Structure 1
Amino acid sequence: MSHQAETADRHAGEEPFKLEELFYSRTDSRGVIIAGNEVFRRVSGYEWGALLGAPHKIVRHPETPRAVFRILWDAIQKGYPMGAYVKNRSKSGGWYWVFAVILPIDGGFLSVRLKPVSDLSDKMKQFYATFSERERVEKIDPEESAGMLRMGAQADGFSSYTNFMAHALGHELAARDRQLRRTADPRTQVLAEMNTAMERATKEQVGLLRSFEALQSVPNNMRIVASRLEPSGGPVSAISENYKASSVVISDRLRSFVAGEGNICDQMSREVARALFLLGSSRVLSEMNAKFVQADPVEGIDWATERELLNELEQKASIDARVAMGKAATIAGQLTQQSREIRRQMLGLDTIRVLGRVECGRMRDNSGGLSATIDQLDGFHDDIKGRLESIMRLSEEIEQSMTRYLRQSKAA
């Protein structure tokens, strides 16, 4: 940062704009500004002659981590919409926060930005200041820091960074409605409900994977105990071998269910996250469209073209959201069925476990660690079955909610 910019930052404060105002801008594929609305121009402090043809990073503030822009750029270049909290800087050195919804279009990108006012935005503002400073001090590569953000989102219980952004967008829209005293929008309510269900489902999937990994050591422990208790081929040895054979089948099924590449849990998470973000985007675009009708045209910008683009994009986001919701509902149904099948297979393992418990009782004081091993099995089995039940309930909830929303939107 130059000395002049540092001086401006010390003397400038937050640039004011109203909660009901929305920023609009469109760029080419390189990020060069092609069009925008008066809110963007006024708050940024630049005249149109300086904005049009300039790179959008003209308003970039150093306290927005480079990782955020890397994630945004990666997504939109692949044709996926993405959102982000962004701290921008005005010409005078002032600053202003937005939640940006960025969507790829033919030949470039379109962005609609709103004023973030939720509790989550307060946390993100504090996090950005710390994280951007860490990027600079430690000279962290943007790709590496982007990976850190993605891992952080997963650690907080989100299936992906897109899922976190859908959650954030839902929070901002709901908080905005409350502060503007608007009637709750059904799309925003779906966002909140589905994000809550997805967060819970993701936590259950992570827990299921951990229990599954821990379960792998139990058959080996049982064989070691059997070798101390009886000659080869005795009842405990037979139980351990049967348990191992049956658990291998279930382990393979659990691996493809939770941890394998393209596993069904991951598929559902991605489709739900995509649907929810598109759903929120559709609502933001709808409001931007309404404001565009009332706005005065800007000299040098083809206003009719911008309105047409916004209308087309709103319709596309709505259609794409319904398609993604339909896919997610189908995958959720498959997830429920697979959960039931794994639970049924677990009943077979339960039978073998009970035989082990019976054998342990027959040996009484001579069980030699068998009792502790069976206790381990009891704990793992209960945890796995409980998590499967929870995943089934949540996937059914997601399937029903999305199907209900699709019916309501079709009827409307």
Structure 2
Amino acid sequence: MTHQHDLSGQPEGEVNFGFEDLFFSRTDRRGVILAGNDVFQRVSGFAWAELLGAPHKIIRHPDTPRAVFRILWDALGGGHPMGGYVKNRARNGDYYWVFAVILPTDEGFLSIRLKPSTPLFTQIGAVYADLAARERTERLDPGDSARMLWTTVTEAGFTSYTTFMASALGQELAARDTRLGRPADPRTRRLIEMNDALERVTQEQKKLLRSFEALQSIPNNMRLVASRLEPSGGPVSAISENYRASSLVISDRLRSFVSGRENLCDRVSRQVARALFLLGANRVLAEMIASFRQADPVAGVDWPMEAEKLGRARDLTLQESRTALASAVGHAEELARSSAEIRRLMLGLDTIRVMGRVECGRLRENGTGLVATIDQLDLFHAEIKTRLETILRLSEQIGGVMNRFVAGDLQG
């Protein structure tokens, strides 16, 4: 998607605002605007009298797919914070992009929005353009469109939309710090690293499961070889049956924590992503509160009351991020135990494989087919061991970061 640019380098039709600017708005449960800040009013181009009491969709741009709002509202309706890239429309028809951090409150919802600038933002812009066009031409239901967006996110390597949004917020905050000449926030950096490591663990475990499932054909080959080499129930047959049974146990164990809804890997990822998102929200809330001290009076907006509401939200995000990380630690410990059990079971599988190699020696030239089968096992075992080592190394890295946070490092 290309844009014409004016002499300043600003795309034609895009409202200009700075990286230092943070938008604030608060609505009731129906999405009616109850309060906002000067950045929101200035960039949107609406007068205060037009904003207060108006539905928040007054700034909605048709280029933002309805899928985005379906995902946001589903999360917020369940009492969960959520974020998203949103293209808004100003009063004069111009547009502006924001990354919105939205939190449910007792009265409704509050949102802090910042200027996005990462490569991820560039990628999502192209995805939105395609999806919005499909919504219009194919008259997609928002639910179907939301599933398409979720699929796009998972194909990009994220295990859920929550982990995608958490990663996006962390990256946008880090990029914003750089643009404003601020030192990097160590909490955000460590949580981004942990989130990325968790995504890699999940992908490695899925590959590990596929490797084990591919193994299932090898004991069958071994039985066919055995039927040509020995009477029924001979040593090669017994080895193939023991190998099949042991590998099935490992596959079932792996499947239980990498497949299906509420699997162990996803539970850890979601809780870490939730903590990352909440800590990012905590940062922008603190900055927003500070800006109210210099705010000019606005009829219908009580700045001290808004600051108090934001303060309560900030306290809650810190508290909930601690809870999320504590939950993640519990799940991660279970994941570590499961990984250690897989490694222990692999030792048993290795023993059976070695017994097969011994039989190859006993059978000598008659065991050519068995040698080829055992060679296949050697390759699979080497691949599986490499993946297990990667998983255990990443798990230790994740555990170290989480324990530092839970020990009280959330404040900075």
- Correspondence for 2:284: 284
2:134 equivalent in structure 1: 134
Q: 1:76 to 1:360 in 2, by over 3 A?
A: same
- The DSSP-based 3-state class of the residue aligned with 1:369 is helix
Q: Distance in 1 between matches of 2:56 and 2:277?
A: 23
- Equivalent residues in 2 for 1:321-340 (5 A)? 321-340=321-340
CA shift, 1:154, in A, is 1.9
Residue type of the alignment partner of 1:401: V
CA distance in 1, matches of 2:241, 2:308: 68
Cα distance change of structure 1 residues 367 and 140 upon mapping to structure 2, 3 Å threshold: farther
* C-alpha contact 1:28 1:109 (8 A) present in aligned 2: yes
- On the 8 A contact 2:195/2:269 being kept in 1, the answer is no
SS of residue matched to 1:399: helix
Q: 1:376 to 1:260 in 2, by over 3 A?
A: farther
State the 1:410 CA deviation.
6.7
Q: Does the 8 Å CA contact 1:12/1:93 hold for their aligned counterparts?
A: no
What SS is found at the alignment partner of 2:30?
A: coil
The Cα of 1:222 is off from its aligned counterpart by 2.3
> Is the Cα–Cα contact under 8 Å of residues 60 and 89 in structure 1 kept in the other structure?
yes
Residue identity matched to 1:180: L
Equivalence for 1:202: 202
The alpha-carbon deviation at position 342 of structure 1 amounts to: 1.1
> Which residue of 2 is the match for residue 361 of structure 1?
361
- What SS is found at the alignment partner of 2:316? helix
Q: Matched residue of 1:53: which SS?
A: coil
Question: What's 1:345 paired with?
Answer: 345
Q: Could you tell me which residue of structure 2 aligns to residue 79 of structure 1?
A: 79
Q: For 2:243 and 2:202, how far apart are their aligned partners in 1?
A: 29
Correspondence for 1:52: 52
Match of 1:382 in 2: 382
19 and 129 in structure 1: CA distance in 2 versus 1, 3 angstrom threshold: same
Q: Write the mapping of 1:12-411 to structure 2, written as runs, cut at 5 A.
A: 13-367=13-367, 369-409=369-409
* Bigger mean CA deviation after superposition, 209-218 or 59-68: 209-218
Deviation at 1:13, TM superposition (A): 0.7
| Post-superposition CA distance 1:188-246 (Å, at most 9, x none) | 22232222212321221221222132223332332233223322111111111111222
Please tell me the residue identity of whatever aligns with 1:141.
Answer: D
Deviation at 1:300, TM superposition (A): 0.9
| Cα deviation code 1:329-357 (max 9, x no counterpart) | 23222211221111011100111011112
2-structure distance, mates of 1:34, 1:403: 40
Residues 191 and 279, structure 1, Cα contact 8 Å, conserved in 2? no
CA contact (8 A) 2:66 2:132 kept: yes
Unmatched segments (≥5 aa) in structure 1: 1-10
Cα distance in 1 for residues equivalent to 2:373 and 2:233 = 19
Deviates further, 307-316 or 329-338 = 329-338
Query: Following TM superposition, where does structure 1 have runs of at least 4 consecutive aligned residues deviating by more than 6 angstroms?
Result: none
Aligned equivalent of 1:5: none
Amino acid at match of 1:110: L
Where 1:159 maps in the other structure, the secondary structure is coil
SS of residue matched to 2:276 = helix
- Whole-angstrom distance in 2 between the partners of 1:297 and 1:193: 42
Distance 2:222 2:262 in 1: 33
CA contact (8 A) 1:117 1:172 kept: yes
Q: Is the 8 A contact 1:219 1:244 kept in 2?
A: yes
Change (3 A) 1:215 1:260: farther
1:42-76, CA deviations, whole angstroms, 9 ceiling, x for partnerless residues?
A: 11111122222222111111111111111111111
**Shift in Å, 1:156:** 1.8
Amino acid aligned to 1:374:
I
Q: Deviations over 1:68-98 (max 9, x none)?
A: 1111111111111111111000110000000
The alignment's TM-score, normalised by the length of structure 1, stands at: 0.92
In structure 1, C-alpha distance between the alignment counterparts of 2:76 and 2:410, rounded to whole Å: 29
Contact 1:26 1:110 in 2 (8 A): yes
